[in-house]
Amino acid sequence: MSTPSSIDQAEIAKFEAMAAEWWDPNGKFRPLHLMNPLRLDYIADQIAAEYGRDRRSLRPFDGLRVLDIGCGGGLVSEPMARLGADMVGADATQVNIGVAQAHADQQGLTIDYRATTAEALVAAGERFDVVLALEIVEHVSDPAAFVATCHDLLRPGGLLILSTLNRTARSFGAAIIGAEWIMRWLPRGTHDWARFITPDELAAQAQAAGLMVVDRKGMVFNPITFGWSISDRDLAVNYIMTARRG
């Protein structure tokens, strides 16, 4: 019997078409390159707090097994590996995995990259201390089922960290009109506003899956400075959330 999958082939095709540009900071993934330092700082803070690690140490996440699901070209997997995590990077398309593996090899990094799905990893009995699902939940076919699968990939006490886009008028203006139509950072149609998920909806999905939401923050882009900042209150466009498996 085949394993059900949360992947949406039309969404996968969009990212396959851009795969060669993953590591170009001025290419189609420029928004992620700009956002990445903020995402990584948040992720590192959450993991360090949960597992009692000292972020000032050279490899604070030694011994922790971390999954980056929907890893793309490896923009998060690589710095996490440098911080000592035992990284598995999974993506539904072999094209992205090829790009990610080639870049990691050039950097001398050991990352277990796999062209696979979250459901297949569960079926194989894989378990992790941390699962990262960044800018992916708005692209899967069934977000609630995907979050439940992420729960099943966690060891007891493990952390799920998700980042995505809120479904608001501001997010339509920023992610679609701004990033796709005006700035042309991304091809038109990369995002479907109707698939964006509010923080309350995502929190409810996490709780229904047996996870406890322990933190949520906004990630706010300043178009004047082209910088990102974290916010306790402004989750209107981009946000990031941490949930723990009991």
pLDDT digits (tens, 9 = 90+) for 52-107: 999 999 999 999 999 999 999 999 999 999 999 999 999 999 999 999 999 999 99
What's the confidence (pLDDT) of residue 112? 98
**Residue 98's Cα: distance from chain center in Å?**
18
pLDDT, tens only, 126-168: 999 999 999 999 989 999 999 999 999 999 999 999 999 999 9
Q: Can you tell me which residue has the tokens 């008028």?
A: 169
**DSSP conformational letter for 40:** H
Size of the chain in residues: 246
Residue 174 has pLDDT above 80, yes or no: no
Q: pLDDT-derived band of residue 2, with 50, 70 and 90 as boundaries?
A: very low
Question: To the nearest 10°, the Cα dihedral for 40, 43, 49, 55?
Answer: -20
pTM over 0.85: yes
